[in-house]
Amino acid sequence: LLQGKVGVVTGSGRGIGRGIALALAREGAAVVVNDVGASLDGRGSDQDPAAQVCREIEGFGGRAVPNYDSVSDYKAAKNIIQTALDTFGRIDILVNNAGIVRDRSIMKMTEEDFDAVIAVHLKGSFNCGSHAIPHMREQGFGRIINITSSAGLRGNFGQTNYSAAKAALMGITFTWSIELAKYGITVNALAPSGMTRMVSSMPGMESRPVSPEMNPDLNGPLVAFLASDRAAHVNGQIFGRRGYAFTIFQTPRPIASIDRKSTRLNSSHLGIS
């Protein structure tokens, strides 16, 4: 599906991002594996997961290069995209996956907790997009997949910062899909599932048994399809994965109305009264 294409997957040293990077590479794309190697809350670590994923990709004949810049810094994010241009000559696919969590209830969450999560998930997606999109526009082709979450769709205890960022990524997806369609660039989002370091750290998930359907690699095939030429007609959509099925979410829309001229709720278009 992706022969000759070049993709950037942020936060792809582990978990869902790693599975996406592997899926793109297996379909023929050259991949920039971006990961700062940080701990779950975004603080320092001496590990090098990006290089390990690159070795996995090279092991089955794919092409990959690691990158260690932080998406949260605007200038550093430019280096991520530049790595693709310098190494592989173009940028076709951007998967905004990088993320951290600092889960606390609103009464315990600090300003730093809120800002740090917003900076990676939300501002990081903006940063990478703003640097990649001009190149995609120039070549008349681009695929952007933003990684959102059910926490942004429905909320989740202790995740004010994370839920806010993930909900905002839906808004970015809708807006970019409108702005960029005329340049041959599609923008979609995926709310993935999988047992990862991030998921296992969430309240109530610590001791839950891991089933095969929670394999984070199962998210990769849909992203690979959305990144391909075959998905040119798919734009501005929010997808999800539950078990072994991919899902699609309905774009928010009004379901009922009431006004001063009526004494009853107007929801006839839904077939209810």
- Which residues are catalytically annotated? 162
Ranges of H-type helices in the chain: 15-26, 49-59, 74-88, 111-118, 124-139, 150-154, 160-180, 197-200, 220-226
Under 8 Å between Cβ of 203 and 144: no
Only one residue has tokens 């004010």, namely 160
Exposed e or buried b per residue across 141-152, where buried means at least 16 C-beta atoms within 10 angstroms of its C-beta? bbbbbbbbbbbb
Please state, as a whole number, how many other Cβ atoms lie within 10 Å of the Cβ of residue 12: 31
Nearest-angstrom CA–CA distance, 49 and 33? 9
Picking from 83, 71, 69, the residue whose alpha carbon sits closest to that of residue 32 is 83
